[in-house]
Structure 1
Amino acid sequence: MNNIWKPEHFSSPALLLIDLQNAFFEYPALERQRATLLKHCQRLINTANEYDLPVFNICTVHRRDKSTWTLSMLEDDQGFVLEGTTQAQNLAELDLRGSQQIIKHRDSAFFRTVLEQSLRTLGFHSLIIAGVSSQSCIAATAGDAFAANFRVAIAKQAVASEDPHFEKTTLQLLAEQHRQPAVDTESLINAISRPEQSE
């Protein structure tokens, strides 16, 4: 990680918060990590707000008419995170004031959303990604960010998975294949607040 973590590229990043919604914390393995995960997410949110950096609250929400459902949802005839439900709401502990919400229907936050256009318009080229789950929506978003030539750091203490072994493999793959390091919260904050001291 030391070879690919370049804090000078993350002095002015956008923060992407992925699927911090009630539905995903119905899984016991994620619920057990909830308090620690949200503590680190909130620290990143607060830092982004302090330095006037954009925070994107990216949520999975599906329509009741099935028009946005995935193939597996259609095959099972089982909806998930449906609009207007408690499942679709953000976790109550998070203070997301000032964030921009983007609704997605697939794992990647870039797939058929306005995210890339918004980042280009604002002039941001580096991203910090936090949220759940590491092996699915985090990985898919990070992969599409790489394809779009955004630099990415994964907020190591602000992501979580139902399967820690799968998570470890996923983060290792992102680091090795895409040069997207998993970085601790303190280092990310230092890169933003004290860029001259973070190298």
Structure 2
Amino acid sequence: MLALVIIDMQRWMFRTPERSDQVGNILPAIDGLASHFAQANLPIYDVVTIHQPDRSTWSRLMIKYNYSCLIEGTPDAEPVDGYKAPPSAKRIVKTQNSVFLHTDFETTLNADGVTKLLLTGVFMDGCVGLTAADAAQRRFEVVCISDGIGHVDVKMRRSMEEWLHQMYEIDQIQAACIPL
């Protein structure tokens, strides 16, 4: 079964002008796919990064630089303006870049009968790319929706896309090319 995964569409992720400028470009693809998936009763997973203020979930670099972000209950962790998870979406909370690390995501996908993931959200050269690699290593078929994924750095994005294709045969396609 096919599933849509929407990763980290949260305010903090779009805190710089270069990143916030991407919201208007990726939201139409995400919203369109989410609408189709909801109408077809196909699984949708809304993935968010949430950290605890006591540092128990912080990454190595957050601790090293004493830099808090995406703290539960803060505006940083809220959805970016313009994005609203579909009501049918299952929420997955993560604390690491890959959705598969320290979560029950793989168990949830298997229980739901999911075999193929369409990945959207942010960032190709971050959480989306690392999730794609981890999914492929867990034998899920993976497709990245190029017009539904943002990036931190365009050169790093291209490198990640190339690496994912060479290592795992993960393709980048436009949302309109998904046969639903």
1:133 is aligned to 2:126: no
- Measured after TM superposition, the shift of residue 94 of structure 1 is 2.1
Instruction: Pick the aligned partner of 2:30 from 41, 48, 73.
Output: 41
Alignment of 1:183-198 (within 5 A): 183-188=173-178, 191-192=179-180
1:155 is aligned to 2:135: no
1:146 is aligned to 2:136: yes
Partner of 2:17: 28
1:81 is aligned to 2:61: no
For 1:177 and 1:154, how far apart are their aligned partners in 2?
14
5+ residue gaps, structure 1 = 1-11, 193-199
Specify which structure has the bigger relative contact order, considering alpha-carbon pairs within 8 angstroms and separated by 6 or more residues: 1
Instruction: Pick the aligned partner of 2:170 from 164, 167, 180.
Output: 180
Match of 2:61, as an amino acid? S
Contact 1:44/1:185 (8 A) holds in 2: yes
Task: Figure out how many residues of one structure are paired with residues of the other and give that number.
Answer: 179
Contact 1:29/1:161 (8 A) holds in 2: no
1:106 is aligned to 2:106: no
Instruction: Pick the aligned partner of 2:49 from 55, 60, 67.
Output: 60
Query: Deviations for 1:28-71, whole angstroms, at most 9, x for unmatched residues?
Result: 21111111111111011011111111110100110000000111
For 2:51 and 2:145, how far apart are their aligned partners in 1?
27
Match of 1:24, as an amino acid? M
Contact 2:4/2:118 (8 A) holds in 1: yes
For 1:110 and 1:72, how far apart are their aligned partners in 2?
19
User: Which one has the bigger helix percentage?
Assistant: 1
Deviates more, 1:93-102 or 1:148-157: 93-102
Runs of 4 or more, structure 1, over 2 Å off, are none
Q: How does the TM-score come out when normalised to structure 1?
A: 0.87
For 1:132 and 1:105, how far apart are their aligned partners in 2?
15
Contact 2:119/2:145 (8 A) holds in 1: yes
For 2:89 and 2:82, how far apart are their aligned partners in 1?
15
Partner of 1:94: 83
- Measured after TM superposition, the shift of residue 92 of structure 1 is 3.6
Q: How does the TM-score come out when normalised to structure 2?
A: 0.96
Contact 2:125/2:152 (8 A) holds in 1: no
User: Helix, strand or coil for the counterpart of 2:6?
Assistant: strand
5+ residue gaps, structure 2 = none
Identity %: 24
Contact 1:17/1:131 (8 A) holds in 2: yes
- Measured after TM superposition, the shift of residue 91 of structure 1 is 2.1
Bigger-Rg structure (1/2): 1
